[in-house]
Amino acid sequence: MIGHDDFRSEANAFLEEHATRREEEKFVWGEGADRVGALEEKTPQQEAEELGRAKQWKADEFDAGFGWIDGPEEYGGRGLTRDHVRIYHDLRSRYEIPSQTPFGIGLGMVAPTILAHGIADVRDRYLRSMYRGEIVGCQMFSEPAAGSDLAGIQSRATLDGDEWVLSGQKVWTSGAHYSDIGEIITRTSPDKPKHKGLTMFLIDMKAPGIDVRPLRQMTGGASFNEVFLDDVRVHDSHRLGDVDEGWTVALTTLMNERAAIGGGGAGVGTTSTTRLIETARHLGVVHDPVVRQQLADAYVHTSVARYTNLRASAKIRAGQLPGPEMSIGKLALTRNMQRVASLLGSMLGPKLVADSGEWGTFAWSEYVLGVPGIRIAGGTDEILRNIVGERVLGLPKEPRVT
C-alpha cells in the first residue's frame, strides 16, 4: 500500500496539472454574487452545463486513481484507507474544481447501499461507472401520503416471473430529472406489518412507465421532483437485499444520507459567519445586544457542529464505528440554519421580504425560504429527535398508533 507521503505527492501532481489553485477569498461588502441560498437554484441550461463539467472532472479524477480511493479494487476502487481519502480531500479543497453536487446523492447514499446489498453483477455493473461519473443516481423514498413515516409508503411491487412490476408515486426526489438510476423502496407484502413488507430496488430512470415532473419551491427554483411509476418493470437481479427486508436496506441509505447532509454534503449549502457579521455592520446593528447575542449563539453552535462532525470522521479514520455523532449531525445543521434565519429576521426586518435593490439584503430571503425544505430532507427534525431520544439516549418510545 502506498505511504501517505508518496500518495500526497501523487495527488499534488494530479491537482496541479488538472486544476487551478484556489485564491484566498476575502469577503468585501457589495462585491461578488449577491446570492445566498440554502439550496443551489439553477436554470436547466446551467444545470446541464454543470453536469457536463462535473462528469469530465470525475472521469479525470477516477482515471488518475482518486475517484474511489478507499473502494474495493474489484469494483474500480483503489483499496486504500480513509486516511488517504482525508489527505486527498484536504488537498483538493485548495483548488478550484467543478461543483460535484450532481453526484452527492448517488455517491453519498445510493452507491454505499449497492455495495452493501447488491449482488456481485449489479455491483460490478454500476459502482465503477458511478464513481467515474458516467452514471448519476437518485433516491426515491418519500411519498405524498406517507409524510415522515417511511414505512407507511404505498408504492407497490408485484413479482411477475423474474421481473417485478412497480407502480406508485414518489415525491421530493432531488436530481431525478438528470439521473440514470434510482434507488426505490416499495411495498411487496401489504398483509405484513408495515416495516416487514418492504423491498428495495435499483431502477433505470429512463425506463418505460417513469414520469418525472419538477416541483416548484417557494424559493422560485425546482430542485426537487415528483416521480410517477406506471407498471415499471425491474429484473429481480436489481433487487437490493431480500424480499420484504427493505427496511434494513433503507437504514443503510438513511444513515449515509444524514451523514452526508449533516456534514455539508449532498448539495446542501451553509453560510459564512463573516457575511452575517458584515451584514450586521452594514445595517448598523452590530452593537445591538440582541443581535450580538444571536450572532454569538449562531457562531458557537455552528462551531460545535463542525467539531462534532470532525470527531465522527476521526472515529471512522481510526477504524471505529461512528456513534451518536451521525444521528445528530443533520439535526444540528437544520437547527443552526433556523438560528441564522431568526437572526436575519432581527437584522433585516422588512428588507428581508421587500426587494429594494440594496446589495446583501433581500438576497437572504432565498436562504430563509429554503430552510423548511432542509428540515424535511433526510428525515424531519421531529423524526430525528425521536431517533436521538430513543436510540441514542435510551428514553421511552413515543406512543404510536397500533
Q: Which residue has the cell 417511511?
A: 150
The yes-or-no answer to whether 137-244 and 270-392 have a common fold is no
Assign 217 to helix, strand or coil: coil
CA distances from 382 to 139, 330, 386 (A): 21, 12, 6
Write out the DSSP string of 115-130.
HHHS-HHHHHHHHHHH
Domain 137-244, CATH 2.40.110.10 — does that match? Answer: yes
What is the CB-side half-sphere exposure of residue 154 using CA atoms within 13 A? 9
pLDDT for residue 222: 80
CA distances from 140 to 14, 155, 181, 225 (A): 36, 11, 10, 10
Q: Which residue has the cell 438513511?
A: 254
Rounded to whole angstroms, the Cα distance separating 57 from 151 reads 38
Q: Contact, 291 vs 284, CB < 8 A?
A: no
pLDDT for residue 8: 97
pLDDT for residue 95: 96
Rounded to whole angstroms, the Cα distance separating 37 from 322 reads 30
pLDDT for residue 16: 97
Averaged over successive runs of 10 residues, the pLDDT of the chain (402 residues) comes to 94 97 85 80 88 97 97 95 91 94 93 95 97 97 79 92 97 93 96 90 98 88 90 98 93 70 48 87 94 94 86 67 68 91 95 93 92 80 84 83 58
Assign 166 to helix, strand or coil: strand
Burial class (CB in 10 A: 0-12, 13-18, 19+), 70: middle
Rounded to whole angstroms, the Cα distance separating 318 from 276 reads 36
Q: Where are the domains of the chain?
A: 137-244, 270-392
CATH number of the domain located at residue range(s) 270-392 in this protein: 1.20.140.10
Note the pTM of the prediction, 2 decimals: 0.83
- Please enumerate in sequence order all residues whose Cβ is within 8 A of that of 273, keeping only pairs 6 or more positions apart, or say none: 295, 298, 299, 302
Q: Contact, 109 vs 255, CB < 8 A?
A: no
3-state secondary structure 290-318: HHHHHHHHHHHHHHHHHHHHHHHHHHHHC
Rounded to whole angstroms, the Cα distance separating 264 from 270 reads 7
